[in-house]
Amino acid sequence: MNAQKSDVLIIGGGIMGASSAFFLSRRGRAVTLLERDQIGQYASGVNFGNVRRQGRYLGQLELANRSWALWKRLPKLIDDDLEFIPSGHMRVCYREDEIAELEAYAAAPEAVQLDLKIYRGAELHQRFGFLGPEVKGGSYAPHDGHANPRLAAPAFARAARRLGARIEERTEVADVQKVNGLFHVTTTDGQLFAAEQLLITAGAWAARLSEQFGEPVPLEPNGPQMSVTEPVPYALPTVIGVFTKIKEEVIYFRQIPRGNIIIGGGNRCAPDMVNRRAFFKPESLLNQMRQMRRLLPGAENLNIIRVWSGIESYTPDSLPVMGPSGMVDGLFYAFGFCGHGFQLGPGVGDVMAELISTGSTSTLISPFDIRRFTQPSLTAQLSTSLLSTGKLI
């Protein structure tokens, strides 16, 4: 069988894979992207749509800042509107001791570009008068915002295709191996693809592929619990999320200009990975309404017109796997973004294209090295070396 050759093969058509295909194509690389179902069908297309930097692991802010700079340019860069609105993002809390944690985060040197402002007491309720009386404080990020996740991955895929990338949907991978310096990917319909470099961006299914190359990752699939209200007059441009260590209290909402309020958070639900089905639990909606009553009094009286879920993947340390393989030359990963990868999408694609094309990247990604799971002692040595030399990979 003759293999269909390209410079780079990408497995997985979420926002990470689609944006990587776009940025690789901009660098003149011949790219083939294989997606088992449809572009952006799972985590990328069904998430909350937060374009949020604040609250992230501080070591991830360099990547988030690079992505944020791209979000501002996307309409011209990909010739598509993802409904990005830099409306501001507010992390609120119910307890005084949590305000101190928000203040410490805002004071960290890594967070300087976020221009965070801490509100508490009367000043908080004067600035955000719609918040419930239980809310004690909050951290406001004026440049963060939200976008439409259903539009993002398909828009990047269309832009990549216009630059010459081959985007294959409904193409399921049956076997992946490296033979004589080339990665060979065989699909269930008998096609054979080959390339010198392979990028795995297969989301919750990526660990099955990394394990084939001797790099298992303890990836846990989960389904976000999302709902949306009937439209009401547009009055809440700021994205609101609760900072708390109590799982049931984790709730967030945003209102879109059409008037609907999109709600997420609370308990997650394990998906059916064999049949690729996600579920929404009725008790999730009940908890969301209880929490919304505390956060936005009166919202619990609105009609919920739709609920949904998706399939996301979570690592034990809540950080993604991103970067080169620790065992196989030419193999790269970008998966396991733990429910907060949407904002990172453009930046991940740009960084992976830079890394794959040049062998290095100017953006810090060493905390996401797959070797922290497969070779933890080596990763500890690497971290020490990076701290002493200042080198970024």
Q: pLDDT tens for residues 161-199?
A: 999 999 999 999 999 999 999 999 999 999 999 999 999
Q: Where is 90: in which H helix or E strand?
A: strand 89-93
**Does position 340 have pLDDT exceeding 50, yes or no?**
yes
Across 34-54, average pLDDT: 95
Q: What is the DSSP letter of 95?
A: S
Q: In 3-state terms, what secondary structure has residue 356?
A: helix
Q: In 3-state terms, what secondary structure has residue 86?
A: coil
Q: Where are the alpha helices (DSSP H) in the chain?
A: 15-26, 43-46, 61-71, 74-77, 96-107, 121-127, 149-162, 206-212, 282-295, 345-358, 371-374, 376-389
Q: pLDDT tens for residues 97-136?
A: 999 999 999 999 999 999 999 999 999 999 999 999 999 9
The pLDDT score that the predictor gives to residue 110 is 97
If one counts every other C-beta atom within 10 angstroms of the C-beta of residue 3, the result is 16
Q: pLDDT tens for residues 267-282?
A: 889 999 999 999 999 9
In 3-state terms the chain splits into helix, strand, coil percentages (rounded to 5) of 35, 25, 40
pLDDT level of residue 377 (50, 70, 90 thresholds): confident
pLDDT level of residue 391 (50, 70, 90 thresholds): very low
The pLDDT score that the predictor gives to residue 17 is 98
Q: pLDDT tens for residues 46-99?
A: 999 999 999 999 999 999 999 999 999 999 999 999 999 999 999 999 999 999
Residues 6+ apart with CB under 8 A from 384: none
Q: Mark residue 216 as left, alpha or beta (left: phi above 0; alpha: psi -120 to 50; beta: remaining).
A: beta
The pLDDT score that the predictor gives to residue 387 is 42
The pLDDT score that the predictor gives to residue 376 is 79
The pLDDT score that the predictor gives to residue 75 is 94
Phi, psi of 28 (to 5 degrees): 85, 10
